[in-house]
Amino acid sequence: MKVYQTSELKNIALVGGAKSGKTTLAEAMLFEGGVINRRGSVDDKNSVSDYREVELERQASVFSTVLYTEHAGQKINIIDAPGFDDFIGEVIAALKVSDTALMLVNAQNGVEVGTEITWRHIQRLEKPVVFVVNQLEHEKANFDEAVRQLKTQFGDKAIVAQYPVNAGHGFDSVVDVLKMKMYKFPLDGGNAEITDIPADEADKAEEFRNAIIEAAAESEESLMEAFFENGTLSEEELSKGIKQGIATRTMFPILCISAKNNQGINRLMECITENFPSPLEVAPTTDDEGKEFTMDEKKDTVAFVFKTAIEPHLGELSFFRVLEGQVAESADLLNSQTGSKERLSQLFVVAGKNRQKVEKVMPGDIAATIKLKDTNTNNTLTSSKNQGVKVSSIDFPEPKYRTAVKAKTTGDEEKLSVLLKEMNNIDPTLIFEHSKELKQVILSGQGEMHLNVAKWSLETLHKLPIEFYAPKIPYRETITKPAKSMYRHKKQSGGAGQFGEVHMMIEPHIEGKPDQTEFPVRKKDVHELSWGGKLIFNNCIVGGSIDSRFMPAIMKGIMEKMEEGPLTGSYARDIVVNIYDGKMHPVDSNEISFKLAGRHAFKDAFKNAGPKIMEPIYDVEVMVPEEKMGDVMTDLQGRRALIMGMESEGNYQKIKAKVPLAELNRYSTSLSSLTSGRATYGMTFAEYQQVPMDVQEQLLKAYEEEQKEEE
């Protein structure tokens, strides 16, 4: 295959709501570019893009698919991204390495949930965007309403560049105000007949033309001066202004197609090659320190791995974009994250399940290689002179939905772990953890659908039956007042016995609070606990009643009980332990004796020290349409949420709240139901807070029942 220069490349992310026709459009673009010789379809389960078993089963994209097509001597790299929010990680990765987002809008439904959600990520990443109104052949297509919604949601930068003459059944004509021509398509698709604009459309076309000329003029000062001087722009100036306007996000042109009927696809590809920015014309990617990568082929190599996939009969496939230098077949590069040396033995350009070998990849281009031994998504590969350079990472969202998971067959736990690790390599938003604290494997993701797809894959592709069940909450236990206790461990069973007696006072640890004065602190040990909080261990022994060599054993006994708290078996934290007295036996005292004495004394003191259960609190931000805000607020308050504030963001309200994790189980499903899928949310851990007394009583009772069952 031809090696394309950076100026001959266009990189687009195909994004939008589910069922907006992204995969159908990708198929048509590959057909028009001659990459495939017949068009498949999602319904017939033979499209180039949705070829994985889970996608054939669901008839919807689950993973992004890397594709390419060719037009007018240029290569168009396409990343066809899923439309459901549960797979938003795939969308974010696609946007990271693309230069323009091509946002599909269903002409029947206008701006949908997927449009709004994806738009927020486009805004955050500051990516150029072009809207494409699709499905104009449908009887319920309403282009004018779709445009109205686009302008309402995204502002007047959304500007009509094409409009349909006869949307609905029999759709076959579009007025293109960039060319000021009418394109009439054969009903079965293909090359359009280009004619003059009909007289009855002339005024409407001229109005749209003037609007896009003004928008193009605003993209650059010299064009603005030309516009003021001449009252218009030349064709050359207009073309320059549109490309500049797209690249700088001062305009979001609206185009028209019927992907299903292959109508307008060739003209869309022409717009991409003529008007979309190349990798040299957009804001550059940066490294962790903000240094820009210039797409200079003469510099030392920097390539960024943005996607990992497992392909049958091929193994692990790593997709990368070159940001500087060149990548040639059999190149030896270094992984900046791991320091490992990687040989890129084969290079491919990829069109879904089809792959074609290429000898070299230039800056800005996207390609794939196989069987890298120690490289994953978000890793940077460089030549030796650039060792240590790291491209800024893809910022994947935090998990929003969690469940406990286990293999149904005893003995399959290790196989489950291996497969979950492999799935995490492919999808970094699917996270699993063997929780020592909860004694569960916790699987987290972006929503219930996300985890159900993972379950389908494990059971169908890997023949591993699994079970989802309710995850435990990582509570913490602490105390609210001082308490004293003593415990004597004494055991005599022939030969050497066991003896150890420990007197202790425990009290809450409060940062900055001075030591108690009842007992002199001879030695203080501060332990930062791995699960949060502190344990302060004070040796207050006077007169040698307990030898200092037994203090570590007492500490060990206390720590063991803190790892399995007295109230619910959860971790204990933020406690000061003062060991102030005790007794030893000259023969029978040993470490095990004092470990057990310390453990039991701590347990007894804890129960008399005003024990409290603390629960994890999360900062939750909900983006909700204004008309649904009341329902969402009521639901949050029913979840013991503390509303921290609200602020407007476009036509949405952002509700900020602190919510106990225990109340967020299945929240993504509930929120979707409440708002017809229009709201979305994010959550991050904030702090631990004491649970209300009624909740504590319920937890204590539940733990007591659990202990009885285990006995």
Q: Is 433 exposed, middle or buried (0-12, 13-18, 19+ CB in 10 A)?
A: middle
How far apart are alpha carbons 264 and 468 in whole angstroms? 46
- Do 401-472 and 613-695 show the same overall fold? yes
- Domain 613-695 annotated CATH 3.20.10.10: no
Measured over the CA atoms of residue 84, residue 85, residue 87 and residue 93, the dihedral's sign is positive
**Ramachandran area for residue 378 (φ above 0: left; ψ -120 to 50: alpha; else beta):** left
Q: Which two tokens stand for residue 657?
A: 């709240």
Please state, as a whole number, how many other Cβ atoms lie within 10 Å of the Cβ of residue 549: 10
Q: Is 305 exposed, middle or buried (0-12, 13-18, 19+ CB in 10 A)?
A: buried
How far apart are alpha carbons 9 and 29 in whole angstroms? 15
Give the pLDDT of residue 289.
87
Q: Which two tokens stand for residue 254?
A: 């609206």
Contact predicate 491/497, CB 8 Å: yes
The full DSSP string for 271-296 is: HHHHHSPPTTSSPPPBBTT-PBP---
The full DSSP string for 121-168 is: HHHHHT--EEEEEE-TTSTT--HHHHHHHHHHHH-TTEEESEEESS-S
Q: Mark the ranges of the chain whose per-residue pLDDT is less than 50.
A: none
- Identity at 309, one-letter amino acid code: A
The full DSSP string for 12-45 is: EEEEESTTSSHHHHHHHHHHHTTSSSS---TTTT
Q: Which two tokens stand for residue 154?
A: 């995204």
**H or E element at residue 76:** strand 74-80
Between the alpha carbon of residue 202 and those of residues 145, 180, 323, 479, the distances in Å are 21, 9, 45, 79
Tell the CATH superfamily of the 6-275 domain.
Answer: P-loop containing nucleotide triphosphate hydrolases (3.40.50.300)
Q: Is 234 exposed, middle or buried (0-12, 13-18, 19+ CB in 10 A)?
A: exposed
With tokens 């069109």, the residue in question is 351
Pairing of strands 9-16, 74-80: parallel
Cα Rg, the chain, nearest whole Å: 32
- Identity at 104, one-letter amino acid code: L
Contact predicate 341/381, CB 8 Å: no
Q: Is 229 exposed, middle or buried (0-12, 13-18, 19+ CB in 10 A)?
A: exposed
How far apart are alpha carbons 538 and 523 in whole angstroms? 6
Q: Is 83 exposed, middle or buried (0-12, 13-18, 19+ CB in 10 A)?
A: buried
**H or E element at residue 54:** helix 53-58
Which of these, 429, 425, 426, 377, lies nearest to 402 by C-alpha position? Answer: 429
Give the pLDDT of residue 710.
67
How far apart are alpha carbons 621 and 656 in whole angstroms? 5
Question: Could you tell me the end-to-end alpha-carbon distance of the chain, in angstroms, rounded to an integer?
Answer: 69
Q: How far is CA 279 from the centre of its chain?
A: 25
What is the CATH code for 401-472? 3.30.70.870
**Ramachandran area for residue 352 (φ above 0: left; ψ -120 to 50: alpha; else beta):** left
How far apart are alpha carbons 87 and 428 in whole angstroms? 11
What pairs with residue 616 in β-bridges?
688
Which of these, 151, 163, 103, 130, lies nearest to 251 by C-alpha position? Answer: 130
Measured over the CA atoms of residue 298, residue 239, residue 125 and residue 264, the dihedral's sign is negative
Q: In what order do the strands lie in the sheet with 9-16?
A: 65-71, 74-80, 9-16, 100-106, 129-134, 252-256, 158-160
Q: Where are the domains of the chain?
A: 6-275, 302-386, 401-472, 477-606, 613-695
Q: Which CATH architecture has domain 477-606?
A: 2-Layer Sandwich (3.30)
Give the pLDDT of residue 76.
98
With tokens 């709501």, the residue in question is 17
Give the pLDDT of residue 676.
83
How far apart are alpha carbons 128 and 251 in whole angstroms? 9
**Residue 689 neighbours by CB under 8 Å, 6+ apart:** 614, 615, 617, 660
Give the pLDDT of residue 688.
94
How far apart are alpha carbons 249 and 308 in whole angstroms? 30
HSE-up of 11 (CA within 13 Å, CB side)?
27
Q: Which two tokens stand for residue 316?
A: 């692990």
Between the alpha carbon of residue 121 and those of residues 88, 152, 427, the distances in Å are 9, 18, 18
Give the pLDDT of residue 494.
66
Give pTM, 2 decimals: 0.88
What tens digit of pLDDT does each residue of 398-417 get?
A: 999 999 999 999 999 999 99
What is the CATH code for 302-386? 2.40.30.10
In 3-state terms, what secondary structure has residue 367? Answer: strand
Q: What is the largest CA-CA distance in the chain?
A: 113
Please state, as a whole number, how many other Cβ atoms lie within 10 Å of the Cβ of residue 499: 21
Please state, as a whole number, how many other Cβ atoms lie within 10 Å of the Cβ of residue 349: 23
Give the pLDDT of residue 234.
87
Give backbone dihedrals phi and psi of 515, rounded to 5 degrees, phi first.
Answer: -60, 150
The full DSSP string for 544-580 is: SSS-GGGHHHHHHHHHHHHHS-TTTSPEE-SEEEEEE
Which of these, 350, 398, 324, lies nearest to 621 by C-alpha position? Answer: 398
